Each structure stands twice: as structure tokens, then as C-alpha cells.
């Protein structure tokens, strides 16, 4: 269990802590700031584990499997919390979660064929937009409602574009027996 893998496990363990701070009605606003701090910490572990793993040659099969799973768990948990708190319509969350499941499925098919699929630039834009959206929605600062809506719909649009591009770029993987 190397440092990048420990950071990935930490990110998974932070998800229920994040959800508790998001959904349990503690008195005052301190819980939203705690949720924000936990989300940012978990997001930073994602940046750190990848950089450390690549820099020091610590890439493992566990990390290849768990890192993207931990990322999806964190983001999907936040999105579901936003549905519960009436900050995002469920239909938008369904589209975003469906994209993540579809991409995971394509990656599993590719892995079964011995192919590793890299993220594309649209996926990186989507992830960045979702992270910024999540931070803004957790903070829930009065006066930023228009920015919140722009980020929600930008995340949705980038989700759809990144899925389309990903499926098109990797269409050969979906043909049985083709790399």
C-alpha cells in the first residue's frame, strides 16, 4: 500500500464524512464549510495521488482501478446531495452519473482487450467545471445564483460533449475483438 493508494483510500473514506456534513442538519452554517473543506481535501488527494504515482513510478493495478472509482464516488455523492438539497434537478444528475457509468463500462471493455483509454480534453474540462460547480454549490453564497446555474448547465453540456467525443474516439473498442 504505497502513498498514492493510501491517498485514494483516504478519498473514499472522506466521502461519507462529506455526505454527513452536507445532509445532517447541524445548527448554524459550520457544517457547509466543513463539507466544503472535506470536499476540497478529497479533491486535492486526487491531484496528489496521480502526480506522486507518475513521478515516482508507483502506478499499481489497485490505483488504476480505485482512483477513478474514488473520483466518481466523490463527485456522484456530491451531485446526489445537491438533489437532496434542491440545488440541482435530478434529471441533470442522472445524465452526469450515466455518463460516468458509460465511460467506466467502455474502460472495462477496453481493459479486457488489453487497451488503456486515456481521458480526453473534454473530459478534463468537464471535471474542472464540475469541481468548480461543486465548490460554488457547497458554499451556497447569496448573490451567486446565476453563476451556480451557469456552472450547472455548463457541466451538463460538457458532460454530453465529453461522452460523445469519448465514444467516438474509442468506437473501435466497442466492436467485439477490435482494439
Q: What is the pLDDT of residues 37-48, one digit of tens each?
A: 999 999 999 889
Q: How far is the C-alpha of 111 from the C-alpha of 35, rounded, in Å?
A: 35
Q: What is the pLDDT of residue 75?
A: 94
Smallest CA-to-CA distance from 91 within 156, 146, 150 is with 156
Task: Give the list of residues 6+ apart from residue 76 with CB closer than 8 angstroms, or none.
Answer: 96, 97, 100
What's the pLDDT band for 175 if we cut at 50, 70, 90? Answer: confident
pTM above 0.95, yes or no: no
How does pLDDT run across 149-158, given as a tens digit for each residue? Answer: 999 999 999 9
Amino acid at each position: 500500500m504505497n502513498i498514492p493508494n493510501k491517498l485514494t483510500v483516504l478519498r473514499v473514506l472522506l466521502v461519507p464524512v462529506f455526505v454527513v456534513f452536507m445532509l445532517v442538519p447541524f445548527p448554524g452554517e459550520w457544517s457547509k464549510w466543513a463539507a466544503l473543506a472535506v470536499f476540497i481535501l478529497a479533491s486535492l488527494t486526487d491531484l496528489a495521488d496521480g502526480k506522486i504515482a507518475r513521478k515516482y513510478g508507483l502506478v499499481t493495478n489497485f490505483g488504476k482501478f480505485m482512483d477513478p472509482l474514488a473520483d466518481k464516488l466523490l463527485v456522484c455523492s456530491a451531485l446526489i446531495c445537491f438533489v437532496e438539497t434542491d440545488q440541482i434537478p435530478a434529471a441533470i444528475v442522472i445524465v452526469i452519473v450515466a455518463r460516468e457509468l458509460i465511460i467506466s463500462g467502455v474502460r472495462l471493455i477496453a481493459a479486457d482487450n488489453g487497451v488503456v483509454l486515456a481521458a480526453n480534453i473534454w473530459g478534463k474540462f468537464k471535471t474542472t467545471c464540475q469541481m468548480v460547480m461543486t465548490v460554488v454549490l457547497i458554499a451556497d453564497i447569496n448573490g451567486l445564483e446565476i453563476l451556480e446555474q451557469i456552472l450547472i448547465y455548463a457541466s451538463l453540456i460538457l458532460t454530453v460533449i465529453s461522452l460523445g467525443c469519448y465514444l467516438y474516439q474509442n468506437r473501435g473498442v466497442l466492436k467485439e475483438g477490435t482494439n
